[in-house]
């Protein structure tokens, strides 16, 4: 299954499903959620009581001078209601803070864990820039959705309901009808226009992810861009995406201005009608000046949050669109998964068997055909063959980055699919052809083989990999930063760090995946001696390009287009006079030519 982070967002989104996906994370803090809801209701009840006390104060103060008595009860009630509104509002915010941040933390952690559980196929197809931007926007969207839903939408809707009930109870039905009608018209208009605007928002997100992906990809391949002088090409490609993003952003802004104007018209019409009815009631002597103050106060209370509700609703829709991609990642299928209750692999000595293994990265592109071989515990088997023969695929299957299509791979007779992936990979160490290091210190990169190792163990591994003296010659020693992907170190230095890292891991199985093919002859010979030392008494699979590095292997396998065509020791294969013997003669002739040139 292919997955792309730069394709168009789906047009038919299920916002309800997105909210359902979020709910279990919120409900883990159910005690806090329920307490916050209680505070929310208390704050809004107190808020709705404020205009009622204000009406009583105005009416009593408006009496003839001879009847004037200080309305102590109304004044105290007004003060208590205002204080309650503030206190309960702050308590609600304080209680819900951990709900919001805790939910974001748990979702982000689960997503990070899920990304590591996805297969190599997913990670070979992903675009890092777009993926990181989708996660960033998604986590921010969660915080926005929770905060504005609990702090704005629910309180506003609750207050609207209570105000409508008070108006219906104290005044003519027309007051409640105008209030509810204005709100419904406002919501309907906001909903209609916002839905149309979401097309521009989704387009902005897609183009933003694409531009970010291209920028990060170009920066990660800085040297390649410079080699070919393609700076302008990369800048123009980036700018073309930004140009399209600007077009969508402008349309988004214009539609926002139209929405704001329409909302303003609806609110103004509703406010004018209610004040007209209030004023008419005073003239007809069916209402007091206090009633006008009460209606005006309610309108003031509703106007601000209702006007803000339009913004909040739009942003919630945007947040849901941002969260959509992130939750889509959590639904991505784990192609390689442990069986329920899979036991850990435990082996001090490991024998490896490939039994009739067949595999293809795609259904119509098979790589391995009926591959059979065995590596006894403590022995070394080398695999050679032309590029594309399937050599590196063997190591990926050993690590169970993919599952075999047919057959089985066993360690000490146990199928790899029967044990946990974590324990399997703990038993295997690899020194790859292209060692990629973290942009951190040399100490960190060596310690990555065993994060719990002591500094003494790390130095011992570095000495065994013959890199300790080099590290100590650096001004910052083991704290020296290696740069992005380890680019501050030479090929040989990176390989020695990889060897030290593997030694620190101390696995019973080793894989050398063309570990020296990218190095010069002198460095290759030095590192080859180190590899021979660390492979002693370990079960070792060597994927080789230069045949001179594997003459001492216990057995050699020749792969051709995914099939084993020859198998035996170095001497046996030379006597056979087949493909291996031809490759040996060609490489030896190349070395002789190189020696003549050097002389």
251-281 pLDDT, tens digit each? 888 888 888 888 888 878 887 888 888 888 8
Min mean pLDDT across 16-30, 117-131, 561-575, 585-599 is at: 585-599
Residue 2: pLDDT band with limits 50, 70, 90: very low
Min mean pLDDT across 211-225, 264-278, 310-324, 435-449 is at: 310-324
Q: Looking at residue 138, what is its pLDDT? A: 81
- Asked if 556 and 576 count as a contact pair (C-beta separation under 8 A), the reply is no
Which position has the higher pLDDT, 420 or 50?
420
Residue 154 lies in a domain: yes
Q: Looking at residue 227, what is its pLDDT? A: 77
Q: Looking at residue 288, what is its pLDDT? A: 78
Number of domains in the chain: 3
Residue 4: pLDDT band with limits 50, 70, 90: very low
- Same domain? For 169 and 75 the reply is yes
Which of 454, 489, 506 is a domain's end point? 506
- Same domain? For 316 and 363 the reply is no
- Same domain? For 445 and 566 the reply is no
Q: Looking at residue 591, what is its pLDDT? A: 56
Pairing type for strands 414-415 and 406-411 reads: antiparallel
- Same domain? For 261 and 355 the reply is no
CATH number, residue 488 = 3.40.50.300
Min mean pLDDT across 16-20, 38-42, 235-239 is at: 16-20
CA distances from 368 to 151, 404, 563 (A): 59, 9, 6
Residue 396 CA to residue 404 CA, distance in Å, equals: 10
Residue 544 lies in a domain: yes
- Asked if 84 and 42 count as a contact pair (C-beta separation under 8 A), the reply is yes
Which of 506, 526, 550 is a domain's end point? 506
What residues does 406 pair with on adjacent strands? 358
Average pLDDT for the chain = 81
For residue 590, the tally of other CB atoms under 10 A from its CB is 11
- Same domain? For 415 and 474 the reply is no
- Same domain? For 83 and 155 the reply is yes
Q: Looking at residue 368, what is its pLDDT? A: 92
Q: Looking at residue 593, what is its pLDDT? A: 41
Residue 207 lies in a domain: yes
What residues does 539 pair with on adjacent strands? 509
**Confidence check: pLDDT of 337 > 50:** yes
Report pLDDT digits (tens) over 350-370. Answer: 899 999 999 988 888 889 999
- Same domain? For 153 and 168 the reply is yes
Residue 2 lies in a domain: no
Biggest CA pair distance of the chain: 128
- Same domain? For 379 and 287 the reply is no
For 558, phi then psi, to 5°, come to -105, 120
Min mean pLDDT across 31-35, 289-293, 479-483, 521-525 is at: 521-525
Residue 336 lies in a domain: no
- Same domain? For 231 and 283 the reply is yes
Q: Looking at residue 533, what is its pLDDT? A: 79
Burial class for 391, CB neighbours closer than 10 Å (0-12, 13-18, 19+): buried
Residue 9 lies in a domain: no
User: Region 85-107: what's the mean pLDDT?
Assistant: 85
- Same domain? For 26 and 39 the reply is yes
Residue 560 lies in a domain: yes
CA 112 to chain CA centroid, nearest Å: 6
- Same domain? For 353 and 490 the reply is no
Which position has the higher pLDDT, 373 or 211?
373
**Confidence check: pLDDT of 185 > 90:** no
Report pLDDT digits (tens) over 455-512. Answer: 899 998 898 888 898 899 988 988 988 887 677 888 788 888 888 888 888 899 999 8
Two structure tokens written together for 364: 């119509």
**Confidence check: pLDDT of 595 > 50:** no
Neighbouring residues of 308: CB distance < 8 A, sequence distance ≥ 6: 152, 156
CATH number, residue 132 = 1.20.1560.10
Q: Looking at residue 14, what is its pLDDT? A: 66
Two structure tokens written together for 238: 């980036």
Min mean pLDDT across 399-408, 502-511, 532-541, 574-583 is at: 532-541
Residue 7 lies in a domain: no
- Same domain? For 136 and 232 the reply is yes
- Asked if 281 and 212 count as a contact pair (C-beta separation under 8 A), the reply is no
Domain that holds residue 235: 15-330
Which of 451, 476, 506 is a domain's end point? 506
114-123, 244-253, 537-546: which is most confident:
537-546
Report pLDDT digits (tens) over 75-90. Answer: 888 788 888 888 988 8
65-69, 239-243, 313-317, 579-583: which is most confident:
579-583
Neighbouring residues of 360: CB distance < 8 A, sequence distance ≥ 6: 366, 367, 368, 405
- Asked if 573 and 402 count as a contact pair (C-beta separation under 8 A), the reply is no
């Amino acid at each position: 299954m292919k997955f792309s982070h730069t394709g168009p967002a789906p047009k038919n989104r299920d916002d309800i499903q997105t909210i359902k996906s979020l709910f279990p994370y919120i409900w883990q803090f159910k005690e806090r959620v329920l307490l916050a809801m209680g505070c929310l209701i208390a704050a809004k009840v107190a808020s709705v009581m404020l205009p009622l006390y204000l009406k009583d104060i105005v009416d009593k103060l408006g009496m003839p001078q001879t009847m004037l008595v200080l309305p102590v009860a109304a004044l105290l009630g007004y003060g208590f209601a205002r204080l309650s509104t503030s206190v309960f509002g702050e308590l609600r915010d304080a209680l819900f803070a951990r709900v919001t941040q805790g939910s974001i933390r748990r979702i982000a952690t689960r997503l990070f864990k899920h990304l590591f559980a996805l297969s190599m196929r997913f990670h070979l197809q992903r675009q890092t820039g777009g993926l990181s931007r989708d996660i960033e926007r998604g986590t921010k969207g969660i915080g926005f959705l929770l905060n504005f839903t609990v702090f704005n939408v629910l309180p506003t809707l609750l207050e609207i309901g209570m105000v409508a009930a008070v108006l219906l109870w104290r005044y003519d039905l027309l007051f409640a009808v105008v209030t509810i009608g204005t709100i419904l018209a406002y919501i309907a208009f906001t909903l209609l226009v916002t839905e149309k605007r979401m097309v521009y928002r989704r387009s902005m997100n897609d183009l933003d992810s694409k531009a970010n992906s291209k920028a990060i990809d170009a920066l990660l391949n800085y040297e390649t861009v410079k080699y070919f002088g393609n700076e302008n090409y990369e800048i123009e490609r980036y700018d073309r995406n930004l140009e399209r993003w600007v077009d969508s952003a402008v349309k988004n802004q214009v539609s926002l201005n139209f929405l704001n104007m329409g909302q303003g018209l609806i609110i103004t019409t509703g406010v004018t009608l209610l004040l007209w009815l209030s004023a008419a009631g005073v003239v007809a002597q069916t209402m007091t000046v206090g009633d006008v103050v009460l209606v005006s106060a309610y309108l003031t209370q509703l106007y601000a949050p209702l006007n803000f509700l339009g913004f909040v609703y739009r942003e919630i829709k945007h947040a849901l669109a941002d969260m959509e991609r992130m939750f889509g990642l959590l639904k991505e299928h784990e192609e390689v998964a442990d069986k329920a209750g899979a036991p850990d692999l435990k082996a001090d000595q490991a024998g490896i068997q490939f039994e009739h293994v067949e595999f293809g990265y795609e259904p119509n592109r098979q790589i391995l055909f009926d591959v059979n071989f065995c590596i006894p515990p403590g022995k070394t088997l080398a695999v050679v063959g032309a590029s594309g023969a399937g050599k590196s695929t063997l190591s990926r299957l050993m690590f169970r980055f993919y599952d075999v299509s047919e057959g089985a791979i066993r360690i000490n007779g146990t199928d790899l699919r029967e044990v946990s992936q974590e324990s399997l990979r703990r038993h295997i160490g690899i020194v790859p052809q292209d060692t990629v290091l973290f942009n951190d210190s040399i100490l960190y990169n060596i310690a990555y083989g065993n994060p719990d190792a002591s500094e003494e163990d790390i130095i011992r591994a570095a000495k065994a990999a013959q890199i300790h003296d080099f590290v100590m010659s650096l001004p910052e020693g083991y704290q020296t930063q290696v740069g992005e992907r380890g680019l501050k170190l030479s090929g040989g230095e990176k390989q020695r760090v990889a060897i030290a890292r593997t030694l620190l891991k101390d696995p019973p199985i080793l894989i050398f995946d063309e570990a020296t093919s990218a190095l010069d002859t002198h460095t290759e010979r030095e590192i080859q001696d180190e590899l021979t030392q660390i492979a002693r008494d370990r079960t070792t699979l060597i994927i080789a390009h230069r045949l001179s590095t594997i003459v001492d292997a216990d057995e050699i396998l020749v792969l051709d287009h995914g099939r084993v065509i020859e198998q035996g020791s170095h001497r046996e294969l030379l006597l056979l006079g087949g493909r291996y013997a031809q490759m040996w003669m060609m490489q030896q002739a190349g070395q002789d030519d190189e020696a003549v040139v050097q002389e």
